[in-house]
């Protein structure tokens, strides 16, 4: 037992000495990050430049590099300068087009109440609203003509780097003149997020193109 304990202690001391010697040989490493000219590079959250940039990684430390470009998926790398990692002298951060961005547009229609005034009777207006909405939304989750409230179920679209969910809410704004408020709720979360994981979603100032004409159609047909 004493012999085993002695061997274990020697092994631990040898490893400790070896690790100390290796750490002592560590030097500051420079890495040239290559990417497209208009890509913004952030080092540990701070913008350091665009395009090709040289970064430094101090001994026994790590550096986070984030590459951002409008319309492209954000890329991140972590570089660790210790005895367990080999750092490259150059690295290439390839930017991939963001398909969620390509299939959407920025708009003030997203997450805002839009007033829609109508000359139709309440019954006719409600029927017309239902017909228009079901052209873009498969399921109406809540409908109550008495209170003038309608809400569709979420329509979820999965992209490479994001999950987008969209729904439409209609409610009565006033009865004289008869006016409705329409809100297209557009939210974004990381790719693969469940549609019911409310805490993971946040408001998105963009709208999927498939819903581009919903509000304008409501305004046009209800206003006649």
For residue 2, being part of any structural domain is answered with: no
In the block, tokens 């913008």 appear at: 47
177: preceding bond cis by omega (within 30 degrees): yes
Neighbours of 113 (CB within 10 A): 12
Q: Is the same domain home to 52 and 135? A: no
**In a shared domain, residues 194 and 114:** yes
Q: Distance from CA of residue 108 to its chain's centroid? A: 19
In a domain, 158, yes or no: yes
Q: Check whether residue 144 and residue 41 sit in a common domain.
A: no
Look up the domain containing 62 and give its range.
17-97
Which of 62, 97, 132 is the C-terminal boundary of a domain?
97
Last residue of a domain, one of 38, 67, 97: 97
User: Residue-wise pLDDT tens for the chain (224 aa)?
Assistant: 555 545 455 444 444 444 444 444 579 999 999 999 999 999 999 999 999 999 999 999 999 999 999 999 999 999 999 999 999 999 999 999 999 999 999 999 999 999 999 989 999 999 999 999 999 999 999 999 999 999 999 999 999 999 999 999 999 999 889 999 999 999 999 999 999 999 999 999 999 999 999 999 999 999 87
Domain final position from 41, 76, 97? 97
58: CATH? 2.60.40
Number of domains present in the structure of the chain: 2
Return phi, psi of residue 187, to 5°: -135, 155
Q: What is the pTM of this model?
A: 0.79
Domain identity same for 122 and 209? yes
CATH of the domain at 134: 3.30.530
């Amino acid at each position: 037992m004493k012999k085993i304990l002695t061997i274990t202690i020697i092994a631990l001391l040898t490893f400790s000495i070896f690790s100390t010697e290796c750490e002592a040989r560590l030097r500051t490493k420079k890495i040239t990050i290559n990417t497209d000219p208009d890509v913004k590079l952030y080092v540990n959250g701070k913008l350091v430049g665009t395009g090709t940039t040289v970064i430094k990684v101090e001994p026994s430390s790590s550096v986070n590099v984030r590459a951002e470009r409008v319309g492209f998926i954000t890329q991140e790398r972590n570089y660790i300068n210790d005895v367990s990692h080999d750092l490259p002298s150059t690295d290439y951060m390839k930017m991939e087009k963001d398909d969620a961005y390509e299939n959407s547009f920025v708009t003030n229609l997203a997450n805002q109440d839009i007033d829609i005034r109508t000359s139709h009777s309440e019954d006719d207006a409600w029927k017309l609203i239902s017909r228009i909405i079901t052209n873009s939304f498969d399921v109406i989750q809540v409908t109550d003509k008495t209170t003038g409230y309608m809400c569709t179920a979420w329509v979820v679209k999965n992209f490479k780097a994001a999950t987008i969910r969209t729904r439409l809410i209609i409610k009565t704004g006033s009865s004289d003149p008869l006016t409705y408020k329409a809100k297209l709720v557009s939210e974004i979360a990381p790719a693969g997020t469940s549609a019911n994981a409310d805490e993971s979603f946040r408001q998105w100032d963009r709208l999927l193109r498939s819903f581009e004409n919903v509000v304008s159609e409501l305004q046009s047909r209800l206003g006649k």
